[in-house]
Amino acid sequence: MRALTPAVMKGKITPDDTEAIDQTLQSFDTLMDDLSDPVVAGVHQAFDVLSFAPTRGLTTGQWSAWSKASLEDAESALARLRDSGIGLLNAIYAAVIRLIISAWYLIPENAATTGYPGPPEKVVNVLPKKAPAAEATP
């Protein structure tokens, strides 16, 4: 993920911008919490294919660890998944890029880079009524 993020988000994130990568991965984790168990299981399977050294090498050409991958390596890995004649690999490509892209654009300040001024402001946000918090008794 760390290696692929700057390749997917080229033009927005450079490989040395750890802060932006961390922020995207954090957003990705939140996104995973919002999906369902079957979807999360599918995502894990996709990442297993990309992590396990033999399948990683065969499917992406990235034989050394992802931590050693350059931006060009990551781009070439993505292109191999995208251009493969095997539907499953195309599906993995689609899932990986959709998750990373969504994670990045779900962050409101990133959404603003598209020329989107944002939604109207909701001013009187009545939260669902909760039982009054247990007040500390003096």
Q: Which of 15, 23, 42, 47 binds another protein (CB under 8 A)?
A: 42
Contact flag: residue 69 with another protein (CB under 8 A): no
Contact flag: residue 101 with another protein (CB under 8 A): yes
Contact flag: residue 115 with another protein (CB under 8 A): yes
Contact flag: residue 17 with another protein (CB under 8 A): no
Cα–Cα–Cα angle for 32, 75, 98, rounded to 5 degrees: 25
CB 95 within 8 A of CB 40: no
Minimum distance from residue 54 beta carbon to another protein (Å): 22
Which residues are CB-contacts of 12 (< 8 A; sequence separation ≥ 6)? 20, 104, 110, 113
Q: Which of 54, 118, 132, 138 binds another protein (CB under 8 A)?
A: 118
Return the number of the residue (19 or 122) whose C-beta is nearest another protein.
122
Note the maximum CA span of the chain.
70
Return the number of the residue (30 or 51) whose C-beta is nearest another protein.
30
Contact flag: residue 39 with another protein (CB under 8 A): yes
CB 21 within 8 A of CB 29: no
**Tally of CA atoms within 13 A in the half-sphere of 57 that contains its CB:** 5
Contact flag: residue 25 with another protein (CB under 8 A): no
CB 7 within 8 A of CB 74: yes
Give the integer Cα–Cα distance in Å for 59 and 84.
9
Residue numbers of the site for another protein (CB under 8 A)?
A: 7-12, 30-31, 33-40, 42, 75, 78, 82-83, 87-88, 90-91, 93-95, 97-98, 101-102, 104-106, 108, 110-111, 113-128
